[in-house]
Amino acid sequence: MEIVMLRDVIDDDLSIFFDQQMDTTANFMAAFTAKDPSDKVAFKAHWEKILNNETIIKKTVIYSGSVAGHVSSFEQFGEREVSYWIGREYWGKGVATEALSQFLDCITFRPLYARAAKDNIASIRVLEKCGFEIKGEDKGYSNSRAEEVEEYILKLYPKRKSPKTGLF
């Protein structure tokens, strides 16, 4: 049985994250990525900031004992957002959906936002399966595509009590 788990990020994970971000197909799908994914110095500096920032919640995604990616929550544009990266070899196995679902069970921030390139159908589907709804649109420059890309802004609302049952 294949199992998805989350754990704290450790230094040994970073080399795997770096290798995963080098995938050109994954970069294209993510759209909003590092200016130069092969710049190891910039990568290390970026992750050092993440690891030292206590307001960023970050977890490593483990799939059947292997590092499959990461998921995090941080403040951006004055709102709390969630983001994830799953290595391409784990795509299509439900890893992203399960990891994000577990992550959302662990954090209490609501509303919570996410962004996805409009043509990243798989990521939009993962977010929708986890309860996010498309609430807006934006566009920004994509380093991986070298052009402006349209994106959806998705929102996860707080759970609301049912007026009939009083349950969530």
CATH number at residue 11: 3.40.630.30
Q: pTM for this one?
A: 0.89
**Domain range spanning residue 99?**
4-156
**Is residue 168 a part of any domain in this protein?**
no
**Is residue 115 a part of any domain in this protein?**
yes
**Is residue 132 a part of any domain in this protein?**
yes
CA 31 – CA 116 distance, rounded (Å) = 8
pLDDT at position 151 is 96
**The pLDDT of residue 165 is above 60:** no
Cβ neighbours of residue 168 closer than 8 Å, sequence gap 6 or more? 159, 160, 161, 162
Overall number of domains in the chain: 1
In angstroms and rounded to an integer, the radius of gyration of the C-alpha atoms of the chain is 16
**Is residue 166 a part of any domain in this protein?**
no
**The pLDDT of residue 162 is above 50:** no
At 60, the amino acid letter reads T
Nearest to 156 by CA among 83, 60, 69: 83
For the segment 18-22, the average pLDDT, to the nearest whole number, is 94
Give 60's strand partners: 7, 70
The string of pLDDT tens digits covering residues 74-117 is 998 899 999 999 999 999 999 999 999 999 999 988 999 999 99
**Is residue 43 a part of any domain in this protein?**
yes
